[in-house]
Amino acid sequence: MRIMLLGAPGAGKGTQASFIRDHYGIPQISTGDMLRAAVQAGSALGMAARKVMESGGLVSDDIILGLVQARIVEADCQRGFLFDGFPRTLPQADALKQAQIYLDVVIDIQVPDEDIIERLSGRRIHQPSGRVYHVRHSPPRVSDRDDITGESLVQRDDDREAIIRNRLDVYHAQTRPLVAYYEAWSRSGETGAPRLIQVDGTQSVDAVRQQLQQVLG
Ligand code: AP5
Ligand code: MG
């Protein structure tokens, strides 16, 4: 099964990814998590990506495509994978299509901009695993500690209000058009056409998970 999660920053892609990943036994491929790991490691890629990410812009398509192409040939991707935050530009989506890397399902998690600032400013993450919390909506059992490892949680550098607004602008300009792209492809019935599923992301984490369970079967 090849699934892709589409949605604005803070729509809940990472949160729902853990359920889908466990349900299908497929790896989650989050380009954002991969880039943050590279920044943390201080690699050449991380150095190149850092400034762009801190400003809320998008890393170049070439870098992202190189990262993903290297990742999906690994052994754990044989039964499929879950893309989280990729593709997020039309050239990235076209590159996948041209490489005949077809998706079975594209899930668009819909959340209006006005909910996003509150979600992202209260977010805390466990950097090594990518586990996601929210100080009010999904608090950890012990304040500021990961439920599984007990390690510290951190706030992402790009979760500051001015940056969040920029990320939303970038989303509307460059990523939102992918919904129409996949809608048109899905309707066409052409080779490789995915199923496009739209879910209401404004409900609770459990309610969104239940919607996904229903539509994915
Ligand atoms: P990335 O890490 O992908 O960030 P993003 O797309 O901005 O999305 P987020 O991770 O912020 O949100 P999410 O939808 O995963 O929400 P979450 O589940 O955490 O990318 C970061 C940067 O890397 C980009 O800005 C770019 O620079 C670069 N990059 C990455 N991929 C790229 C690509 N393909 N091309 C170019 N550049 C790329 O939830 C958010 C919060 O809300 C959490 O606190 C959570 O607990 C809470 N929450 C979740 N669901 C609910 C709910 N139903 N109700 C209430 N609260 C909820
Ligand atoms: Mg995420």
Rounded CA separation 128/113 (Å): 28
Among candidates 21, 11, 14, 9, which has minimal Cα distance to 216? Answer: 21
Q: Which residue has the tokens 């539509």?
A: 215
Ligand nearest to the CA of 50: 1
Number of domains in the chain: 1
Catalytic annotation, residues:
13, 88, 123, 156, 167
With 0-12 CB in 10 A as exposed, 13-18 as middle and 19+ as buried, what is 73?
Answer: exposed
Domain-located, residue 56 = no
Residues facing 143 on adjacent strands: none
Q: In terms of DSSP bridges, do strands 2-7 and 81-84 run parallel, antiparallel, or are they unpaired?
A: parallel
Pocket test for ligand 1, best of 4, 5, 16, 59 (most atoms within 8 A of CB): 59
pLDDT in tens, 53-84: 999 999 999 999 999 999 999 999 999 999 99
Q: 198 is written with which tokens?
A: 């739209």
- Atom 20 in ligand 1: residue holding the nearest Cα: 32
What is the span of the domain harbouring residue 102? 2-26+79-216
Domain-located, residue 35 = no
Rounded CA separation 71/51 (Å): 23
The stretches in the chain having pLDDT less than 70 are none
Domain-located, residue 48 = no
Domain-located, residue 133 = yes
Domain-located, residue 49 = no
Cβ < 6 Å from ligand 1: which residues?
7, 9-15, 31-32, 35, 52-53, 56-59, 64, 85-86, 88, 92, 119-120, 122-123, 132-134, 137-138, 158, 167, 201, 203-205, 208
Ligand nearest to the CA of 123: 1
> Given this model, what pLDDT does residue 172 score?
98
> Given this model, what pLDDT does residue 86 score?
98
CA of residue 95 to ligand 2 center, whole Å: 22
Domain-located, residue 61 = no
Q: Contacts from 11-14 at CB under 8 Å and sequence distance 24+?
A: 11/109, 11/110, 11/111, 11/116, 11/201, 12/109, 12/111, 12/119, 12/201, 12/205, 12/208, 13/84, 13/85, 13/109, 14/84, 14/130, 14/132
CA of residue 94 to ligand 2 center, whole Å: 22
Q: Which DSSP helix (H) or strand (E) runs through 186?
A: helix 177-188
> Given this model, what pLDDT does residue 217 score?
82
CA of residue 74 to ligand 1 center, whole Å: 24
CA of residue 79 to ligand 1 center, whole Å: 25
Rounded CA separation 103/86 (Å): 12
Q: 50 is written with which tokens?
A: 């850092």
List the CATH number of the domain containing 183. Answer: 3.40.50.300
> Given this model, what pLDDT does residue 63 score?
95
pLDDT in tens, 132-161: 999 999 999 999 999 999 999 999 999 999
Domain-located, residue 41 = no
